[in-house]
Chain A
Amino acid sequence: MAEQQVPINQTQFSFEEPIFENQADYSEPKIIDPEQVAKDKKKKIVIMAIVGFFLVLVSLVVLLVINKGPEAIIEEDLPDEVVEKDLTPLQKRIEDARELLDLADPSKQDLAFPPIDLTIRLDKKVK
Protein backbone atom coordinates (compact mmCIF):
# COMPACT_ATOMS: atom_id res chain seq x y z
CA MET A 1 0.00 0.00 0.00
CA ALA A 2 1.34 3.31 -1.01
CA GLU A 3 1.57 5.80 1.74
CA GLN A 4 -0.24 9.13 1.26
CA GLN A 5 2.33 11.84 0.52
CA VAL A 6 2.36 14.75 2.92
CA PRO A 7 2.97 18.16 1.21
CA ILE A 8 6.47 19.40 2.04
CA ASN A 9 5.88 23.06 1.14
CA GLN A 10 3.61 24.36 3.89
CA THR A 11 3.17 27.80 2.24
CA GLN A 12 1.85 26.19 -0.93
CA PHE A 13 -0.29 23.97 1.18
CA SER A 14 -1.81 26.94 2.98
CA PHE A 15 -2.45 28.73 -0.36
CA GLU A 16 -4.16 25.72 -1.78
CA GLU A 17 -6.36 25.43 1.22
CA PRO A 18 -9.86 26.59 0.30
CA ILE A 19 -10.59 29.93 1.89
CA PHE A 20 -13.99 30.90 3.27
CA GLU A 21 -15.24 27.42 2.80
CA ASN A 22 -16.66 25.52 5.67
CA GLN A 23 -14.45 22.88 7.13
CA ALA A 24 -15.55 19.30 6.88
CA ASP A 25 -18.93 18.97 8.39
CA TYR A 26 -19.19 16.01 10.64
CA SER A 27 -22.52 16.88 12.04
CA GLU A 28 -25.65 14.99 11.23
CA PRO A 29 -26.95 15.43 7.66
CA LYS A 30 -29.40 18.30 7.43
CA ILE A 31 -32.92 17.85 6.23
CA ILE A 32 -33.64 20.11 3.26
CA ASP A 33 -36.46 22.41 4.13
CA PRO A 34 -38.21 24.04 1.09
CA GLU A 35 -38.91 27.15 3.18
CA GLN A 36 -35.25 27.43 4.10
CA VAL A 37 -34.30 27.05 0.41
CA ALA A 38 -36.66 29.89 -0.49
CA LYS A 39 -35.19 32.02 2.31
CA ASP A 40 -31.64 31.33 1.08
CA LYS A 41 -32.66 32.31 -2.43
CA LYS A 42 -34.08 35.57 -1.13
CA LYS A 43 -30.91 36.19 0.82
CA LYS A 44 -28.83 35.65 -2.32
CA ILE A 45 -30.95 38.13 -4.24
CA VAL A 46 -30.56 40.70 -1.47
CA ILE A 47 -26.77 40.18 -1.43
CA MET A 48 -26.57 40.53 -5.20
CA ALA A 49 -28.66 43.72 -5.04
CA ILE A 50 -26.35 45.20 -2.38
CA VAL A 51 -23.26 44.27 -4.40
CA GLY A 52 -24.81 45.70 -7.54
CA PHE A 53 -25.70 48.92 -5.74
CA PHE A 54 -22.16 49.33 -4.41
CA LEU A 55 -20.65 48.64 -7.81
CA VAL A 56 -22.89 51.25 -9.44
CA LEU A 57 -21.95 53.69 -6.67
CA VAL A 58 -18.22 53.10 -7.18
CA SER A 59 -18.57 53.44 -10.96
CA LEU A 60 -20.46 56.70 -10.53
CA VAL A 61 -17.79 58.12 -8.23
CA VAL A 62 -15.06 57.12 -10.71
CA LEU A 63 -16.97 58.59 -13.66
CA LEU A 64 -17.62 61.83 -11.82
CA VAL A 65 -13.98 62.25 -10.93
CA ILE A 66 -12.82 61.41 -14.48
CA ASN A 67 -15.30 63.84 -16.04
CA LYS A 68 -14.27 66.56 -13.63
CA GLY A 69 -10.71 66.42 -14.99
CA PRO A 70 -7.75 68.21 -13.51
CA GLU A 71 -8.60 71.65 -12.27
CA ALA A 72 -6.96 74.54 -14.05
CA ILE A 73 -3.91 75.74 -12.26
CA ILE A 74 -4.62 79.25 -11.24
CA GLU A 75 -1.70 81.51 -10.91
CA GLU A 76 -2.02 83.37 -7.71
CA ASP A 77 -0.17 86.33 -6.48
CA LEU A 78 1.80 86.05 -3.33
CA PRO A 79 3.48 88.79 -1.40
CA ASP A 80 7.03 89.36 -2.60
CA GLU A 81 8.67 88.28 0.67
CA VAL A 82 7.38 84.71 0.30
CA VAL A 83 8.67 84.35 -3.25
CA GLU A 84 12.07 85.80 -2.60
CA LYS A 85 14.93 83.46 -1.82
CA ASP A 86 17.94 84.19 0.31
CA LEU A 87 19.67 86.49 -2.16
CA THR A 88 21.91 89.52 -1.96
CA PRO A 89 20.37 92.83 -3.10
CA LEU A 90 22.21 92.63 -6.45
CA GLN A 91 21.13 89.03 -6.99
CA LYS A 92 17.56 90.07 -6.17
CA ARG A 93 17.72 92.76 -8.83
CA ILE A 94 18.99 90.27 -11.38
CA GLU A 95 16.21 87.88 -10.43
CA ASP A 96 13.71 90.70 -10.82
CA ALA A 97 15.14 91.56 -14.24
CA ARG A 98 14.82 87.90 -15.24
CA GLU A 99 11.15 87.90 -14.32
CA LEU A 100 10.62 91.04 -16.37
CA LEU A 101 12.51 89.50 -19.26
CA ASP A 102 10.30 86.44 -19.09
CA LEU A 103 7.26 88.71 -19.45
CA ALA A 104 8.94 90.45 -22.40
CA ASP A 105 9.58 87.19 -24.28
CA PRO A 106 8.67 88.05 -27.90
CA SER A 107 7.75 84.45 -28.65
CA LYS A 108 4.96 84.59 -26.08
CA GLN A 109 1.67 85.77 -27.44
CA ASP A 110 0.07 88.40 -25.29
CA LEU A 111 -2.61 90.95 -26.15
CA ALA A 112 -3.08 89.46 -29.61
CA PHE A 113 -5.19 91.45 -32.06
CA PRO A 114 -8.89 90.85 -31.29
CA PRO A 115 -10.45 87.90 -33.15
CA ILE A 116 -13.14 90.05 -34.76
CA ASP A 117 -14.40 90.52 -38.28
CA LEU A 118 -13.88 94.14 -39.26
CA THR A 119 -15.73 93.70 -42.56
CA ILE A 120 -19.20 92.83 -41.26
CA ARG A 121 -21.98 94.35 -43.35
CA LEU A 122 -25.50 93.33 -44.20
CA ASP A 123 -25.42 94.49 -47.81
CA LYS A 124 -22.56 94.51 -50.23
CA LYS A 125 -20.81 97.83 -50.58
CA VAL A 126 -22.14 99.97 -53.42
CA LYS A 127 -19.23 101.74 -55.14
Chain B
Amino acid sequence: MKKIFILALVLTSVISFNSLVFAQEDDQTSITVFTKQRETQRIQDLRILYRDQVEVYRESEREYSIAKTNHEQVQTLSALEEAVNATRTVMNDRLNVMITYSELIDAVLVETNGIELDLKNQTHTELTGLINLLKIHQENVLVSKDRQSMVILSDEFEPIAAGFESLVYKTLSLIRIGKIQEVHDKAEIIELDIIKEHELEDASGVLTSKRERAYKEIERNFDSINQSLATINEDFLQARRDGFRRGFFENVLQELGPIYAQISRSLDHLEELIKL
Protein backbone atom coordinates (compact mmCIF):
# COMPACT_ATOMS: atom_id res chain seq x y z
CA MET B 1 0.00 0.00 0.00
CA LYS B 2 2.85 2.31 0.91
CA LYS B 3 4.39 1.72 -2.51
CA ILE B 4 1.14 2.56 -4.28
CA PHE B 5 0.81 5.73 -2.25
CA ILE B 6 4.38 6.84 -3.09
CA LEU B 7 3.93 6.06 -6.76
CA ALA B 8 0.65 7.98 -6.92
CA LEU B 9 2.34 10.89 -5.15
CA VAL B 10 5.25 10.92 -7.62
CA LEU B 11 2.94 10.75 -10.64
CA THR B 12 0.68 13.48 -9.31
CA SER B 13 3.74 15.67 -8.77
CA VAL B 14 4.93 15.01 -12.34
CA ILE B 15 1.50 15.93 -13.76
CA SER B 16 1.27 19.05 -11.61
CA PHE B 17 4.78 20.08 -12.67
CA ASN B 18 3.89 19.61 -16.34
CA SER B 19 0.72 21.65 -15.96
CA LEU B 20 2.68 24.37 -14.21
CA VAL B 21 5.35 24.51 -16.92
CA PHE B 22 2.80 24.59 -19.73
CA ALA B 23 0.71 27.16 -17.93
CA GLN B 24 3.79 29.37 -17.75
CA GLU B 25 4.48 28.80 -21.44
CA ASP B 26 0.88 29.67 -22.25
CA ASP B 27 1.33 32.91 -20.38
CA GLN B 28 4.41 33.68 -22.45
CA THR B 29 2.86 32.89 -25.82
CA SER B 30 -0.31 34.82 -25.21
CA ILE B 31 1.45 38.14 -24.65
CA THR B 32 -0.38 40.58 -26.81
CA VAL B 33 1.21 43.33 -28.80
CA PHE B 34 -0.66 46.53 -28.43
CA THR B 35 -0.82 48.85 -31.34
CA LYS B 36 -2.74 51.99 -31.99
CA GLN B 37 -5.89 51.79 -34.01
CA ARG B 38 -4.87 52.84 -37.49
CA GLU B 39 -7.41 51.15 -39.73
CA THR B 40 -11.13 51.72 -39.84
CA GLN B 41 -13.49 48.89 -38.99
CA ARG B 42 -14.51 48.69 -42.64
CA ILE B 43 -10.91 48.11 -43.76
CA GLN B 44 -10.42 45.45 -41.10
CA ASP B 45 -13.65 43.70 -42.13
CA LEU B 46 -12.70 43.83 -45.79
CA ARG B 47 -9.28 42.35 -45.02
CA ILE B 48 -10.90 39.38 -43.28
CA LEU B 49 -13.47 38.91 -46.04
CA TYR B 50 -10.75 39.13 -48.70
CA ARG B 51 -8.59 36.52 -46.97
CA ASP B 52 -11.54 34.13 -46.71
CA GLN B 53 -12.50 34.64 -50.34
CA VAL B 54 -8.94 33.94 -51.48
CA GLU B 55 -9.11 30.61 -49.65
CA VAL B 56 -12.40 29.74 -51.36
CA TYR B 57 -10.96 30.77 -54.72
CA ARG B 58 -7.88 28.56 -54.28
CA GLU B 59 -10.08 25.55 -53.67
CA SER B 60 -12.33 26.25 -56.66
CA GLU B 61 -9.29 26.87 -58.88
CA ARG B 62 -7.98 23.45 -57.90
CA GLU B 63 -11.33 21.84 -58.72
CA TYR B 64 -11.47 23.71 -62.02
CA SER B 65 -8.03 22.39 -63.01
CA ILE B 66 -9.07 18.83 -62.21
CA ALA B 67 -12.37 19.13 -64.08
CA LYS B 68 -10.71 20.74 -67.12
CA THR B 69 -7.99 18.09 -67.30
CA ASN B 70 -10.57 15.35 -66.89
CA HIS B 71 -12.69 16.78 -69.69
CA GLU B 72 -9.68 17.05 -72.00
CA GLN B 73 -8.84 13.41 -71.34
CA VAL B 74 -12.22 11.66 -71.40
CA GLN B 75 -14.21 14.07 -73.61
CA THR B 76 -17.57 12.84 -72.29
CA LEU B 77 -20.68 14.95 -71.92
CA SER B 78 -20.75 14.56 -68.15
CA ALA B 79 -17.10 15.60 -67.95
CA LEU B 80 -17.93 18.65 -70.05
CA GLU B 81 -20.84 19.47 -67.74
CA GLU B 82 -18.54 19.23 -64.73
CA ALA B 83 -15.90 21.38 -66.43
CA VAL B 84 -18.46 24.06 -67.31
CA ASN B 85 -19.75 24.11 -63.72
CA ALA B 86 -16.23 24.24 -62.29
CA THR B 87 -15.30 27.07 -64.65
CA ARG B 88 -18.39 29.05 -63.67
CA THR B 89 -17.60 28.54 -59.98
CA VAL B 90 -13.97 29.58 -60.28
CA MET B 91 -14.91 32.62 -62.37
CA ASN B 92 -17.45 33.66 -59.74
CA ASP B 93 -15.02 33.12 -56.85
CA ARG B 94 -12.33 35.03 -58.71
CA LEU B 95 -14.74 37.94 -59.18
CA ASN B 96 -15.57 37.88 -55.48
CA VAL B 97 -11.85 38.24 -54.73
CA MET B 98 -11.45 41.03 -57.27
CA ILE B 99 -14.49 42.97 -56.02
CA THR B 100 -13.51 42.73 -52.35
CA TYR B 101 -9.89 43.55 -53.12
CA SER B 102 -10.97 46.61 -55.14
CA GLU B 103 -13.20 47.72 -52.27
CA LEU B 104 -10.34 47.18 -49.83
CA ILE B 105 -7.77 49.23 -51.73
CA ASP B 106 -10.40 51.89 -52.35
CA ALA B 107 -11.10 52.14 -48.61
CA VAL B 108 -7.36 52.35 -47.86
CA LEU B 109 -6.92 54.98 -50.57
CA VAL B 110 -9.69 57.13 -49.11
CA GLU B 111 -8.16 56.85 -45.63
CA THR B 112 -4.62 57.65 -46.79
CA ASN B 113 -3.54 61.24 -46.33
CA GLY B 114 -0.72 62.70 -48.35
CA ILE B 115 -2.33 62.02 -51.71
CA GLU B 116 -3.26 64.94 -53.91
CA LEU B 117 -7.01 65.33 -53.47
CA ASP B 118 -7.89 65.48 -57.18
CA LEU B 119 -5.87 62.38 -57.88
CA LYS B 120 -7.43 60.60 -54.94
CA ASN B 121 -10.97 61.47 -56.02
CA GLN B 122 -10.29 60.51 -59.61
CA THR B 123 -8.85 57.13 -58.62
CA HIS B 124 -11.71 56.55 -56.18
CA THR B 125 -14.20 57.18 -59.00
CA GLU B 126 -12.30 54.82 -61.29
CA LEU B 127 -12.34 52.12 -58.63
CA THR B 128 -16.08 52.56 -58.08
CA GLY B 129 -16.61 52.16 -61.82
CA LEU B 130 -14.44 49.06 -61.89
CA ILE B 131 -16.33 47.49 -58.97
CA ASN B 132 -19.63 48.06 -60.80
CA LEU B 133 -18.21 46.54 -63.97
CA LEU B 134 -17.01 43.49 -62.05
CA LYS B 135 -20.42 43.07 -60.44
CA ILE B 136 -22.20 43.22 -63.80
CA HIS B 137 -19.78 40.66 -65.20
CA GLN B 138 -20.39 38.48 -62.17
CA GLU B 139 -24.14 38.52 -62.81
CA ASN B 140 -23.48 37.29 -66.35
CA VAL B 141 -21.20 34.55 -65.03
CA LEU B 142 -23.87 33.32 -62.61
CA VAL B 143 -26.51 32.91 -65.31
CA SER B 144 -24.23 31.26 -67.86
CA LYS B 145 -24.88 27.56 -68.30
CA ASP B 146 -23.10 26.24 -71.37
CA ARG B 147 -19.70 26.00 -72.99
CA GLN B 148 -20.35 28.73 -75.53
CA SER B 149 -21.31 31.30 -72.92
CA MET B 150 -18.13 30.40 -71.02
CA VAL B 151 -16.10 31.28 -74.09
CA ILE B 152 -17.92 34.59 -74.46
CA LEU B 153 -17.42 35.41 -70.78
CA SER B 154 -13.71 34.61 -70.98
CA ASP B 155 -13.37 36.93 -73.97
CA GLU B 156 -15.30 39.68 -72.20
CA PHE B 157 -13.15 39.31 -69.11
CA GLU B 158 -9.84 40.02 -70.86
CA PRO B 159 -10.18 43.82 -71.10
CA ILE B 160 -11.73 43.91 -67.63
CA ALA B 161 -8.69 42.07 -66.22
CA ALA B 162 -6.29 44.44 -67.99
CA GLY B 163 -8.15 47.45 -66.56
CA PHE B 164 -8.21 45.86 -63.12
CA GLU B 165 -4.46 45.24 -63.14
CA SER B 166 -3.67 48.76 -64.25
CA LEU B 167 -5.98 50.40 -61.73
CA VAL B 168 -4.73 48.21 -58.89
CA TYR B 169 -1.11 49.15 -59.51
CA LYS B 170 -2.05 52.79 -59.88
CA THR B 171 -3.92 52.73 -56.56
CA LEU B 172 -1.19 50.80 -54.76
CA SER B 173 1.42 53.26 -56.01
CA LEU B 174 -0.68 56.20 -54.84
CA ILE B 175 -1.21 54.64 -51.42
CA ARG B 176 2.51 53.95 -50.96
CA ILE B 177 3.56 57.41 -52.10
CA GLY B 178 0.80 59.02 -50.04
CA LYS B 179 1.80 57.24 -46.84
CA ILE B 180 5.40 58.39 -47.16
CA GLN B 181 4.33 61.91 -48.14
CA GLU B 182 2.08 62.09 -45.08
CA VAL B 183 4.94 61.32 -42.68
CA HIS B 184 7.22 63.77 -44.46
CA ASP B 185 4.58 66.52 -44.22
CA LYS B 186 4.17 65.83 -40.51
CA ALA B 187 7.94 65.96 -39.98
CA GLU B 188 8.17 69.36 -41.71
CA ILE B 189 5.39 70.80 -39.53
CA ILE B 190 6.98 69.38 -36.38
CA GLU B 191 10.26 71.07 -37.28
CA LEU B 192 8.51 74.43 -37.70
CA ASP B 193 6.80 74.02 -34.33
CA ILE B 194 10.09 73.15 -32.65
CA ILE B 195 11.63 76.31 -34.10
CA LYS B 196 8.67 78.35 -32.79
CA GLU B 197 9.12 76.83 -29.35
CA HIS B 198 12.85 77.56 -29.41
CA GLU B 199 12.19 81.17 -30.36
CA LEU B 200 10.18 81.63 -27.17
CA GLU B 201 13.08 80.43 -25.06
CA ASP B 202 15.83 82.68 -23.78
CA ALA B 203 18.75 80.62 -25.09
CA SER B 204 22.46 81.47 -24.98
CA GLY B 205 24.36 82.44 -28.10
CA VAL B 206 26.22 79.13 -28.23
CA LEU B 207 23.01 77.14 -27.97
CA THR B 208 21.28 79.31 -30.59
CA SER B 209 24.06 78.77 -33.12
CA LYS B 210 24.04 75.05 -32.35
CA ARG B 211 20.31 74.98 -33.04
CA GLU B 212 20.78 76.99 -36.25
CA ARG B 213 23.22 74.37 -37.54
CA ALA B 214 20.73 71.64 -36.65
CA TYR B 215 17.90 73.42 -38.50
CA LYS B 216 20.08 73.71 -41.59
CA GLU B 217 20.98 70.04 -41.56
CA ILE B 218 17.36 68.97 -41.09
CA GLU B 219 16.16 71.31 -43.85
CA ARG B 220 18.88 70.03 -46.18
CA ASN B 221 17.53 66.55 -45.57
CA PHE B 222 13.96 67.76 -46.19
CA ASP B 223 14.98 69.34 -49.51
CA SER B 224 16.52 66.08 -50.62
CA ILE B 225 13.33 64.20 -49.71
CA ASN B 226 11.20 66.76 -51.55
CA GLN B 227 13.30 66.33 -54.67
CA SER B 228 13.01 62.56 -54.56
CA LEU B 229 9.24 62.74 -54.02
CA ALA B 230 8.95 65.18 -56.94
CA THR B 231 10.79 62.68 -59.16
CA ILE B 232 8.39 59.90 -58.16
CA ASN B 233 5.41 62.16 -58.87
CA GLU B 234 6.81 62.93 -62.32
CA ASP B 235 7.17 59.20 -62.98
CA PHE B 236 3.59 58.78 -61.86
CA LEU B 237 2.35 61.37 -64.34
CA GLN B 238 4.34 59.64 -67.07
CA ALA B 239 2.77 56.31 -66.14
CA ARG B 240 -0.69 57.85 -66.40
CA ARG B 241 0.03 58.28 -70.07
CA ASP B 242 1.79 54.94 -70.58
CA GLY B 243 -0.36 52.80 -68.26
CA PHE B 244 0.38 51.36 -64.87
CA ARG B 245 2.03 47.99 -64.78
CA ARG B 246 3.57 45.81 -62.13
CA GLY B 247 7.02 47.04 -63.13
CA PHE B 248 6.01 50.63 -62.44
CA PHE B 249 4.78 49.78 -58.96
CA GLU B 250 7.98 47.88 -58.19
CA ASN B 251 10.02 50.89 -59.33
CA VAL B 252 7.98 53.12 -57.01
CA LEU B 253 8.76 50.83 -54.07
CA GLN B 254 12.45 50.86 -54.97
CA GLU B 255 12.54 54.63 -55.17
CA LEU B 256 10.67 54.96 -51.88
CA GLY B 257 13.27 52.87 -50.03
CA PRO B 258 15.92 55.62 -49.69
CA ILE B 259 13.23 58.23 -48.98
CA TYR B 260 11.94 56.09 -46.15
CA ALA B 261 15.44 55.93 -44.67
CA GLN B 262 15.86 59.71 -45.04
CA ILE B 263 12.56 60.43 -43.27
CA SER B 264 13.53 58.07 -40.49
CA ARG B 265 16.79 60.03 -40.09
CA SER B 266 14.86 63.31 -40.12
CA LEU B 267 12.71 62.09 -37.25
CA ASP B 268 15.85 61.13 -35.32
CA HIS B 269 17.22 64.62 -35.91
CA LEU B 270 13.97 66.21 -34.77
CA GLU B 271 14.07 64.17 -31.58
CA GLU B 272 17.61 65.42 -30.97
CA LEU B 273 16.56 68.96 -31.78
CA ILE B 274 13.87 68.93 -29.09
CA LYS B 275 16.50 68.10 -26.51
CA LEU B 276 18.85 70.91 -27.61
Contacts and interface: CB of A to CB of B under 8 A. Distances in A.
A97 B8 CA distance: 60
A104 B11 contact: no
A120 interface: yes
A96 B18 CA distance: 43
Interface stretch (B87-95, B120-128, B205-213, B216-224): B87-95
A47 B36 contact: no
A96 to B, nearest CB: 8
A6 interface: no
21 contacts: A75-B32, A77-B36, A78-B36, A88-B274, A90-B274, A101-B267, A104-B260, A111-B105, A111-B108, A111-B175, A113-B168, A113-B169, A114-B54, A114-B97, A120-B87, A120-B91, A121-B150, A122-B83, A122-B84, A123-B151, A126-B151
Interface of A: 20, 47, 50-51, 54-55, 57-58, 61-62, 65, 70-71, 73-78, 80, 82-83, 88, 90-91, 93-94, 96-101, 103-107, 111, 113-118, 120-123, 125-126
Contacts, number: 166
B83 A118 contact: no
A78 B267 contact: no
Contact of A75 (B19, B35, B151, B168): B35
Given A83-B36, A107-B257, A111-B172, A65 B22 contact: yes
B32 A76 contact: yes
Given A47-B3, A70-B29, A122 B37 contact: no
A46 to B, nearest CB: 8
A104 B4 contact: no
A118 B11 CA distance: 61
Interface string B231-275: 000000000000000100000011011001001100100110010
